[in-house]
Amino acid sequence: YGKKFLQPAVLPDGLPFSHARLNDDGSITLFYGDFADDKMQLLGNMLLLSQGKKEKAFTELYKVFPAEAFTAAEVNGLPAHLIRGGMLIGSYDASGNSLIDAPVWQQEPFRLTLYWEKDDQCYTLQFSTIPGSGARISDADLIKIAESLQ
C-alpha cells in the first residue's frame, strides 16, 4: 500500500478486524465485525473506518441527509459531525421499477457515523447493524474509538 493509515486502539467487544479495501481514489477502508466468507455480506454488527484525501466538502458528501441527522462533535479537539441513520437511495420492484422518488432517511437498522478532517485527510468511522440486531453504540463510545486512532 505504501501509505500510512491509522487503526483504532479501542474497539467494541465482538468486532474483530475482518478485512481492508483499497479504493480507486487511494483511500483505505478497514472493516471490523462478522462477515460472510466473500466479505460482502454482513452477518452481524460492523465498524468501518475510512480514511483518505479530502475530495469533497462535508456538506456535499451528506447533502441528502436532513438537518436532524447531524450533531456537532469533536475528535481530539477537531470539529466533527455525528450522523444518525442512513439514506435509502434505491429500492426497486421485481421488474426494476423504482419504488421511491427521492432518497429516504432511515434510522433502522441502526447506523451512527462520525466524520472529521485533519489537514488534507478525511475520516469516517461508522457503526452499523443488521436489521433486528438491537445493538447500539453511544456517541461518546464512537468518539472514544476515533480518538484512539494510531
- Work out the percent of the chain whose per-residue pLDDT is above 70: 97
Residue bearing the bigger pLDDT, 76 or 2: 76
Q: Looking at the predicted structure, is the pLDDT value of residue 133 above 80? A: yes
Q: Looking at the predicted structure, is the pLDDT value of residue 88 above 70? A: yes
Q: How does the average pLDDT of the chain come out, rounded?
A: 90
- Strands 78-84, 70-75: parallel, antiparallel or unpaired by DSSP? antiparallel
* Residue 1 pLDDT: 53
As a whole number, mean pLDDT of residues 124-132 equals 92
Residue bearing the bigger pLDDT, 122 or 91: 122
- Residues 70 and 116: their CA atoms lie apart, in Å, by 13
**By three-state DSSP, how is residue 140 classified?**
helix
Q: pLDDT band at 82, cuts 50/70/90?
A: very high
Q: Looking at the predicted structure, is the pLDDT value of residue 93 above 80? A: no
As a whole number, mean pLDDT of residues 87-115 equals 81
- Residues 144 and 10: their CA atoms lie apart, in Å, by 7
As a whole number, mean pLDDT of residues 78-96 equals 85
Least confident of 18-22, 37-41, 92-96: 92-96
Whole-structure pTM value: 0.88
Residue type, 97: N
